Structures are given as structure tokens and as C-alpha cells.
Amino acid sequence: MPKVWFITGVSTGFGRALAEALIERGETVVATARDTAKLSELAEKAPAQVLALPLDVTKPEMIRTALDAAIARFRRIDVLVNNAGYGLLGAVEELSDEELRSQFETNFFGLVKMTQAVLPLMRAAKSGHILNLSSIAGFRGVMGGGAYNASKFAIEGLSEALAMELAPLGIKVTIVEPGAFRTDFAGRSLNAAARIIDDYAATAGTVRSGISAMDGNQQGDPHLGARAMIEIVGSETPPLRLVLGADALRGVRKKLDEVAAELDKWESLTVATAFKDGVKAISAS
């Protein structure tokens, strides 16, 4: 029986590639984006399989309206793909409060609101799968990407807790961590801090220019990434984390090695923080 997939951010990138792959497989897709004009081709190609809806994940009323329409049409949601989001470059000191909060409103709080809205349906069905699009930047920080890193790290922490909460209810959670894929991330979907501080030219500044130059030359194929996501949803034992791309795999392994080496180096100091045997704590009062 075909699954019903609810996908945010379907206008381009992973969202678009995933929707196209699902339609080819005969699956049912609720395709959402802020601009539904970009979804018309999908809906026209397979009107029985596709419901195209406007959705800005930062607006709770639009989330509710889109879900109501999806349930009225298909009666259930089997897979939620939280894909909507964008990148923001800039050294931490360069970021304005407005830029930082806007990043979190879309990338993190929008994902939380969307998930909270869908969960009652999945709990009632005692089944479901949630794919939260993170990034290698949600596992490994990079200079110039502090805001984006923080929003994706937040998704990872939330998803780890969510996976443990939902496992007894028959609902699965997977964090998707792509590396550099040929999507709009380094182009249309990339913002930069308005403020530039010259002292960061050799650090955050190089990342800002380097990522923009990468646009259109990334090694990752979003259509193959979409197939990988579909494959793990079909697995009886899907991973908590799905790393996509050789570059992302190298980044994850490099950080794990660095953390292990640092733990070993400072282990004696780490464990020398307990009360000594027979010594009672001194009351602060």
C-alpha cells in the first residue's frame, strides 16, 4: 500500500528530488512550499497522487490548514519530511539578533511546530516515520556557520530525544545529514550576515566566499540522496542518523576521532572531580 508523505520545502533541492522520486514509485505526496506556483508541474503530472499546498512553517495557522487539507484528502500521514530551511553565513559577532532569530524560526522552531502538529495523527495510528533534515553542519561546526550550525545542532538534540520518546509508540525518527549536494543551498537558499567585520576575513570570510563559489559544482546528487531516504523509510530497522555523501562521512569520522583523542588526553582531569571516599560534601548553608 502506498505511503502518504508530507514534505516541506518542495520547491527545489532535496524536497523536490524526493517528491519526484516518490511520484515515480507510485507513492502519495503532500507537497508544500511557500510558493505553490513551483509545485504546479508536480500536481499536473500526477493529480491523483499529489496534493500541492502553500506552507510557511513559521506560521502555525498555515501548518494547521495544510494538515487539515491533507487529512481530508488522504486520511493519514505516514511519513513527515521536515526539509524546509535555509543557510546563513557570518561570524558569530557579525550576526544580528534578527538574523539569528529568523534562522531558528525556520530551521528549528518551524520543524518543531510541524512535528508537534503531525504527532497526534501518528500516535493514533501507532506508526509513522519522521525525517528531520539536518546537515553535516549539524554534527560538526564550521567557522562562519555558527547560526546555521546552532539551528541544526538543535535539531539533532531534539531528534535524539524524540526518537526515544516515540519508539514505544511505533514511530521512527531519522536525522538526515547531507554533505555538499547540488541543490540551491549555496545559491538561492543561502543568506549572509549584513555586517562584515574585517578581522574575520581570514576565517568566516573565506567560508562565505568559498561556499558561494561551490554553487553548482557540488559532488552530491540530490536525486540519489532522495533514493537513500526512501530506502531507509522502507527498512524495518532504519538508522537514527543517515549520513549522505562521502564528504559528510569524512567529516563525521574526523570529529569522532578528534573527540576521542581529546577525551583520552584529558581523561585524568575529567575523572578527578568526584568526592573522595569518606569525605562528605560541605553544605553551602
Please write the tens of the pLDDT for every residue from 45-102: 889 999 999 999 999 999 999 999 999 999 999 999 999 999 999 999 999 999 999 9
Clarify whether 148 is annotated catalytic.
yes
pLDDT value of residue 187? 55
Find the catalytic residue in 134, 135, 151, 159. Answer: 134
Say whether pTM exceeds 0.85: yes
pLDDT above 80: residue 216: no
Identity (one letter) of the amino acid at 166? Answer: L
**Domain locations along the chain:** 4-248
Average pLDDT over residues 235-252: 96
pLDDT above 60: residue 134: yes
Find the catalytic residue in 113, 148, 159, 172. Answer: 148
Clarify whether 151 is annotated catalytic.
no
Helix (H) or strand (E) holding 190: strand 190-192
Going by their DSSP bridges, the two strands 128-133 and 171-178 should be labelled as parallel
Q: Per-residue DSSP letters for 127-163?
A: -EEEEEE--GGGTS--TTBHHHHHHHHHHHHHHHHHH
Average pLDDT over residues 159-173: 98
pLDDT value of residue 45? 86
User: Alpha carbon of 18 to those of 14, 24, 29, 121: distances in Å?
Assistant: 6, 10, 10, 22
Helix 222-233 with 13-24: angle, nearest 10 deg: 60
pLDDT value of residue 189? 64
Find the catalytic residue in 3, 113, 151, 152. Answer: 152
Determine what percent of the chain is predicted with pLDDT higher than 90: 80
Q: How confident is the model at residue 157 (pLDDT cuts 50, 70, 90)?
A: very high
Identify the burial level of 217 via C-beta atoms within 10 angstroms of its C-beta, where 0-12 means exposed, 13-18 middle and 19 or more buried: exposed
CATH assignment of 4-248, given 3.20.20.450, 3.10.450.50, 3.40.50.720, 3.20.20.70? 3.40.50.720
Identify the burial level of 134 via C-beta atoms within 10 angstroms of its C-beta, where 0-12 means exposed, 13-18 middle and 19 or more buried: buried
Average pLDDT over residues 270-284: 75
Average pLDDT over residues 251-277: 95
Clarify whether 152 is annotated catalytic.
yes
